[in-house]
Structure 1
Amino acid sequence: MKQLTKVESIVYLLGGITMVAGAGLYAFLLIQPIACWLMLVGAILFALMQSRQRYLGTVLAIRRLRKIMSLAGWGFILAGIFMVEDAYHFLRPIFTGSLDGYSSYVSIFHHNWVILLLISAVIEMYTTHRISYELKRESSSTNT
């Protein structure tokens, strides 16, 4: 794996911490109008720095896992967007022309950021551990 520079590593860590802090503050109903933006900015920073960490090898499994990991990054960003929508209701006027429209709005956006965040976190954990395992296996097979 191509290692991140020191600045990129700091931004990566800061993005992850900001994303978790924003999600936690929002979930515990603390400063929600600010917490949703923290989550979104953190998710963007985290996903961008994660995409900069490239795999330069030829193992197909790791390449596939990296693509799946990028899907998790997009899921984090989408969860942040849904969280902002849940806090500010920017799109609600578009949907509230009828009762069915409001029902659709609620079923699409109302607290569904939690589902996106959970799915993305599970994918992220799985791919992180599998990539680590595959990299160890790759290094041990090249050493012998």
Structure 2
Amino acid sequence: MTNSLLTTLLNMKQLNKYESIAFLFGGLLMVTGAGLYAFFLIQPVSCWVMLVGAIIFVLMQTRQRYTGTQLTIRRLRKIMTFAGIGFILAGLFMVEDSYFFLRPFVANSISGYSTYINIIHHNWVILLLISAVLEMYTTHRINYELRKESPLEG
């Protein structure tokens, strides 16, 4: 390894074994919850599975910090944080679609009900899609930037 690659890797706080397991478990819960919810299987439970998985996934992702000075990676990490917020919001929207906690407070009139339907009803799909695309983009770009800065010596 070159010295600059070693320095860059030292600037990324790596997760320990248990944090890595929690990170993977959170991702698995997110996928399982979203899949079950999308196929109308035990929706009152699967929405909570998705939300808990998203919270675990995002918490473990924020534990992996970048302390280096490369602006591109710092910007990508901020975008990744935005995607994490989207995952949690998608889980909250799923819970709202199943239990209608906010509807009695928001939908007091026809216009309130229309606004509620336009903003919340089944829009978890859009949040989840946008967050997943941002997550994939930032993950691949961070990997590319780390390799571009310090290629391995052959």
TM-score, length-normalised on structure 2? Answer: 0.89
Give 2:95's aligned residue. 84
Give 1:117's aligned residue. 128
Cα distance in 2 for residues equivalent to 1:76 and 1:96: 25
Query: 1:128-143 to 2 correspondence within 5 Å?
Result: 128-140=139-151
Deviation of 1:57 (Å): 1.9
Aligned residues: 143
The reply to whether residue 55 of structure 1 matches residue 66 of structure 2 is yes
Q: Which has the higher contact order (CA 8 A, sep 6+)?
A: 2
Q: Tell me, which stretches of 5 or more residues in structure 2 are unaligned?
A: 1-11
The one-letter amino acid of 1:68's match is I
Query: 1:1-144 to 2 correspondence within 5 Å?
Result: 1-140=12-151
Cα distance in 2 for residues equivalent to 1:71 and 1:127: 11
TM-score, length-normalised on structure 1? Answer: 0.95
Deviation of 1:55 (Å): 1.2
Deviation of 1:96 (Å): 2.3
Structure 1 residue runs of 4 or more that deviate by more than 6 Å after TM superposition: none
Q: What do residues 48-105 of structure 1 show as CA deviations (whole Å, max 9, x unaligned)?
A: 0000011122211001100110110000001000110011000010122111111111
Give 2:5's aligned residue. none
Match of 2:150, SS state, is helix
Of 68-77 and 90-99, more deviation after overlay is shown by: 90-99
What RMSD in Å do the two structures reach over aligned CA positions?
1.4
Q: Tell me, which stretches of 5 or more residues in structure 1 are unaligned?
A: none
